[in-house]
Amino acid sequence: MEEKRSEKLPIDAKLLSDAVIELNISRRSVSLYPPEHPITRESIEKAFEFLKKLFELRSSITIGIAKDTLVVDEYTLDRKNPVFKEFALSVHNRGIAAITFYSGLGVEELLGLHELITAKDMPTGKTLAELTQEKGLKHVVLTALDISKFGFVEDSLRQDGDETKIWEDYVYGLLEGRLAEGDAEGVLLSVAPEDIADLINRQMAQDTPEVTYDRVITTYLRKKEDSGINRDLFTRFISMVQNLSPTIKQQFLKRAFSGPSIDAGEAARLFGELTRADIEKMMTVFAEHSSLIPDSLRNLIDKLNTAKKGRGFFDLIVDKKGLVDDLEIDEHIMGLFSEDQFETFVTDKYQAEIERMLRGFEVKKSPILEEVAIECRDETVDRVASGIMLELLDSDRTGRDDYLALLSKLSELGSDFLETGRFEEISDIYNTLYSHSLAGKYREQASGMLESYFYSKDSIAKMVDAFKLWGRFEREGVTKLAGLLKRYLTDPLFDALAEEKDPSIRKFLLSVLAGFRNDILPDAVRRLNDDRWYVVRNMIYLIRECGGVNYVDRIEALAKHAEKGISIEAVKTLLHFNVPGTFSYIRLYLQSKDLALRDQVVRLAGAHRVKEAVPYLLEILEKKDLFGREWRYKIPVVKALGDIGDPRAAEALTRLYQSKTMLNKSDMEELKTEIFRSLANYPHSAVKPLLEKGLTSKNNEIRTISEKLKRFRAISERLLNLKQKGNDNVSREGN
């Protein structure tokens, strides 16, 4: 059953990794060699073979692209893998957020896709996605990068319908707070500062919140652990500020340098890396707004002002003497540090010794040291500290003041756990406090922390946000904690589900709520009256997954709903609960002129093996199609009939296989191949004539399937004969 297979079978991780690697190799080959070149053909065919193997598990594979990261389903591929990163960036730079490959993909389509995404003058984003369809790539769908789907944090600064470039979308997202940390940094490095300044001048009003300025400043001046502030971003920030309008420029400088964002030490290091042109540009900007510069930074700027041209920042020469940190150095000593004198006083051997000392002591790796490193990680230390505190809470020697101090420390630690998605540890804290609230020496204190830390609306809201952020990666911990607090979490989770825009997060929230089983059924039924169709659809799903058979009357009332998403989910639920009379709805939709609706019901009929649907499926299959426009729409029907395995379909399948067409031959060939893929469930006697025809087919896949089924049938008959002989021998011995 195709639908069930797609839902339940996970992608093989090794196979998926190999497929992406080959896709990247073939992409590079297409960018370097012409389509007919042997290297191009070989790489394309290898990638195609891996995708074919994936299609044996799934009818479609969607690869999401999040900047330099690849995501399949809800799993992130290895972020450190340079091949994955290269493929992700190459597609992301074309304004594409996802690529979906569908079963039936051909080698030429894969080649065509690579030609589109590697061409230098090709459009990007939505235009590129539309172009794939115009080029006839039927089994490939590109999803354009759409910044509007990032989710708003505050009122949008951008008017709907604006036509913008991709980099402008990122800057809009940065101003509105809709980008993850670091998402805009690459854009700011690649776009001219003057262009960004022009966009900011157009979009930022006088009453723009200060936090909007801070987002831009933080992106430019964010410190890295290993290298501090990025020099290129800093110089671009100065250039961008230089092109701002006076009012906005003043706000940026005030917000950037009035706080601790750049201290004197960091400024000294940064200024030492700047070129003379960079320093002159910076001095011009600062000179116009000197009152906004803090004293610690002004001292450094004053030194720059007194520096002579041609000298470095720390090589300031005043009256033939050097100034370093306000200490005067004699000119003869300064001469020792000039480049032409350095090698005279410092030998190669001494330089090598200095370099060795700077590298520090290198420790050889060993299992013991690796284990120590693991045990010294912050998360390990925090977990051990939490465990010790919980043991102290249980100790008879712990006094009231100590107990309260431990509760305070645990609340701080619990907040850290929540921010980092460590729900198992939070569950341990809750279980301990809950037992103390029932029978502990300090029941009142334990109950107070439960009320303030676990049960309050603010705490529950933070917990739901943490679930959305971390839950897909820490499912077991979320399930445990949510089960403990379901009384308080149920309504907030329902509300979060109704408002969530991200499909993967919605799917996760549904799984959490489904874990509450029949406890949530009354809430789900009550929300069937919601005005939003997708909320009603999700409630029907939860009622089905949580065993709400007692509510089938409410579900049946929605089986003819005008919204397809609701009606299909309702019919699926009625089938799940084997409700009498459900076939009347299936029959109704199988005769619908809405092809999308009909296809969904066709799949349902196949998945649930509804034999009553066979005559109606055959009617669709045998419908005349002079222009070959509906060959593709008949493929789901063939699959559904194969799932049901009713011998009545054999003759119709044979006639369909023997039919010919002058139009859409590729679709017809795909349909014929699908016929043979679906034959395994039929009685051998019913499809034997069709298999005989398949043995002589020119299509390699059809011929291979026919040979396999023939061998399987021969083996089955041999085993049956052996079993029958064994039964006969036993019978004779018994007599």
* Per-residue pLDDT reduced to its tens digit, 300-312: 556 555 544 444 4
567, 560 contact by CB (below 8 A): yes
Do 89 and 176 belong together in one domain? no
Q: What is the rounded CA–CA span in Å between residue 21 and residue 212?
A: 40
Helices 533-545 and 486-499: crossing angle in degrees, nearest 10, is 140
Cβ-based neighbours of 570, under 8 Å, separated by 6 or more: 540, 555, 556, 558, 559, 561
Are both 22 and 106 inside the same structural domain? yes
Question: Do the domain assignments include residue 331?
Answer: yes
Identify whether 102 is part of a domain. Answer: yes
Domain finish residue from 95, 110, 145: 145
What is the crossing angle of helices 564-576 and 595-607, to 10°?
10
Amino acid in the structure at residue 221: L
Three-state DSSP class for residue 76: strand
Q: Residue 400 burial (CB < 10 Å; 0-12/13-18/19+)?
A: exposed
The answer to whether residue 165 scores a pLDDT higher than 70 is no
320 falls within a domain: yes
Average pLDDT, the chain: 77
Distances (CA, A) of 91 to 99, 186, 441: 9, 15, 61
* DSSP string for residues in 296-342: HHHHHHHHHHHPPTTS-TT-EEETTEEEETTEEE-HHHHHHTSHHHH
258: number of Cβ within 10 Å: 11
Do 186 and 328 lie in one domain? The reply is yes
Cα torsion 273, 279, 283, 284 to 10°: value is -140
Least confident range from 31-35, 261-265, 565-569: namely 261-265
CB 590 within 8 A of CB 613: yes
Taking the C-alpha atoms of residue 656 and residue 639, their distance in angstroms, rounded to an integer, is 14
| Mean pLDDT to the nearest integer, 167-177 | 65
Statement to judge: residues 91 and 21 lie in one domain: yes
- Statement to judge: residues 335 and 199 lie in one domain: yes
Termini Cα distance of the chain: 46
Domain assignment of residue 161, yes or no: no
How is 53-69 classified by DSSP, letter by letter?
HHHTT-SEEEEEEETTE
Rounded to whole angstroms, the Cα distance separating 475 from 486 reads: 15
CA nearest to 511, candidates 481, 478, 560 = 478
DSSP state of 191: S
Average pLDDT over residues 513-530: 92
* Residue 135 included in any domain: yes
Give the C-alpha separation, 670 to 407, whole Å.
66
pLDDT tens by residue, 222-245:
665 555 677 777 777 788 878 878
| Cα atoms found within 13 Å of the Cα of residue 110, Cβ hemisphere only | 29
3-state secondary structure of 140: strand
Mean pLDDT of 390-400: 85
24 lies in some domain: yes
pLDDT digits (tens, 9 = 90+) for 339-365: 455 555 556 766 777 676 666 555 556
Task: Tell whether 182 and 96 lie within a shared domain.
Answer: no
What pLDDT digit, counting tens, does each position of 78-104 carry? 777 777 888 888 888 888 888 888 888
Residues spanned by the domain of 11: 2-145
Using one digit for the tens of pLDDT, what is the confidence trace for 457-500? 888 999 999 998 888 888 899 999 999 999 999 999 999 999 98
Give yes or no: residues 68 and 183 share one domain.
no
Domain contains 95: yes
Q: Compute, in degrees rounded to 10, the torsion defined by CA atoms 508, 511, 515, 520.
A: 100
Considering 339, 371, 403, which residue would you say is the last residue of a domain? 339
Whether 205 and 295 share a structural domain: yes
Q: Specify whether 138 is located in the same domain as 196.
A: no
Which residue type occupies 148?
Answer: S
Both 252 and 322 in a single domain?
yes
Q: How many structural domains compose the chain? A: 2
The answer, yes or no, to whether residue 179 has pLDDT greater than 70, is no
Last residue of a domain, one of 313, 339, 365: 339
Query: Do residue 102 and residue 195 come from a single domain?
Result: no
Same domain, 121 and 197: no
Q: How far apart are CA 30 and CA 43, in angstroms?
A: 9
Q: What is the mean pLDDT of residues 318-324?
A: 41
Answer whether 413's CB lies under 8 Å from 426's CB: no
Q: Which residue has the tokens 């890396």?
A: 273
DSSP-assigned states of every residue in 600-633: HHHHHHHHTT-GGGHHHHHHHHT---TT-TTHHH
Type of residue found at 32: L
Least confident stretch, 193-197, 266-270, 532-536: 266-270
CA gap 144, 69 in Å, rounded: 16
Query: Is residue 176 classed as helix, strand or coil in its secondary structure?
Result: coil
Whether residue 539 lies inside any domain: the answer is: no
User: What is the predicted pLDDT for the residue at 187?
Assistant: 61
